[in-house]
Structure 1
Amino acid sequence: MKRDYYEILGVSKSSSADEIKKAYRKVAMQYHPDRNPGDKEAEEKFKEAAEAYEVLSDSDKKAKYDRYGHAAFGPGTGGGFSGGANMEDIFSQFGDIFGDDIFGSFFGGGGRRGGGGGRSRGVRGSNLRVKLKLNYEEIAKGVTKSIKVKKYVGCNTCGGSGAKDKGSVQTCSTCGGSGQVRKVTSTFLGQMQTVTTCPTCNGEGTTVTAKCTSCKGEGRVYGEETVTIDIPAGVQEGMQLNVTGRGNAGERGGMPGDLIVLIEEEAHKELQRDGLNVAYELHISFPDAAFGTQVEVPTIDGRAKIKIPAGTQSGKIFRLKGKGFPEVNGYAKGDQLIHVNVWTPQNVTAEEKEMLEKLSNSPNFKPQPAKGEKSFFDKVKEVFS
């Protein structure tokens, strides 16, 4: 079972962004692989801290985590590192937290990994955010949607390199193609090697001497792409799904950004959602309540018949087990709650009035609530407990 993100970093929900950042730096420094060579447990704790920070440092993801916990970032929902995240991914994404020097050798060891160590292609593309409206049936069953997204796409003319032709790309003379510059300094502890991103090529290892005429050297152009998104069953209004690598294309072959999909719920004509449950207001006539009847009610996936027993009181709540929404990445499923309202006529004829006056004197028409009858508030508590 995953540990709580706040517990991992040693912070509280009320901690500020700066406090969270400082806490992450402290934990990451403690379990940094260069300080714990060959220690698999330390490496896992380093990854764990990176995952916690990735969520808690993002206001949207933090809000989702505070509300849904780890379920908000299960398979298909985005957020957090995937179980297969490697050290290079983490160093690349969080290098700005530590600065370039931290990934150099501690007291004379090997070079920097990932982000600024080793050659990196281009500039990473930015993330995109889109809204996607779903109806109740799509939410209940899950759905695959194909949407058109206007964004930066890779340039077909130069293949994303940004160069006019192959001969227009040269190895960077400053770093020799490595994308990084190494510097060795002497300290009282001995020699210390630091590695920084090459200032000439920005870590790409190459420079472009003649730009592509189609993309003006960016390696990308503004266009449109059809993106297919798998929506898991049970998503809710305001949830965000992360589609990795489907955001804006990066410059000169850089990694693309992500596509962030914000879920919106399309209002249902007859049903209302309350968490995993679905509520329906059923209105029946006084004779039907008195004699009992069978009625048809709408559900998420069609219509269902239910029996109304004779003597049903207004306010009675019937439950259709399992007719609600499924839990995202879980096994729970909500119910459909049917709230009965006995309809009172607002306009009656003289003849109807005469009949009702006769009935009003009958003992059976005098209110006689049972002693064990639950109050309205008790019923509500029972339904939502």
Structure 2
Amino acid sequence: MAGDPYKELGVSRGASADEIKKAFRKLAKELHPDTNPGDKAKLERFQRVTGAFDVLGDKEKRAKYDSGQIDADGREQYAGATGGRGSPFGAGGAGGFAGGFGGGPRHEGGPGGRASFDNIDLEELFGRFGGGAGAGAGGGGGRAAFGRGQDVRASLEISLEDSIAGATRRIQFSDGRTLDVTIPKGATDGQTIRLRGQGTPGRTEPGDALIELKIAVHPVFKVDGADLTMDLPVSVPDAVLGGKVQAQTPEGVVSVTIPAGSNSGQTLRLKGRGAMVGGRRGDLKARIVVMLPDTPDEALKAFAQEWRDKRPYKPGR
């Protein structure tokens, strides 16, 4: 059974509704399990403080408690089991069970409604822990302290390379808590990873953390289904004579053979070097881009002039 709710909140019996609300906010922030992970004593105190506010934060419950009609747990007091008003078996006695063992929040709009008290919005308060307001997956933030904990949502940006090979990355929530997230091989943009028990704590069990993956735009590769595409700069001599050039892949730099007589727009296919979709690794398609030197010298200009005069040709014919 809970103790005196006034003592739990540290307020006098004549405290105003605003004073009670302010005291609860202060204690809830100090004692919240996300702020004190693994501290069993503070978790128990947090639950007692929450139960105390369940009684004192509700105008009708507070009046009943002050008059001795209910106890500190919100259960109605009764003299016997004869079916009278004070009995749990009579017309009015069921209220002791309807309120929940240990005191539960009042639900607006019937069962399944949004959990709140007369003087405080628990979504606004508890939503600050584990991802901020609106972070829950289909439930009001206030329910985190009274049943199963609230699911929290967050986004994690990863590199294209991480999505292909897999990795472990750390994410930080708005309350300062950090978690290591294992990125599976072949992760896709928008994929959600569920971390069981890493959401907001509750009285029965904690919620989960739902991490949505966002693949960052890559400076070199573009995703085309399971394939990747890229531009591969090639010098004029290598394009004319053929040769070896260095090409970047998700696993690092590799040597690629350029066929003699290559033109811009031709594509070289590197098997199994692409993205991964559905457990299948695609290819990397390297589009040849023939490049002149940054500063063409006089010899190259003279060669081009002679070629144009003596061996003119029409590209693409």
The TM-score normalised by the length of structure 1 is 0.41
Which protein shows a greater Rg? Answer: 2
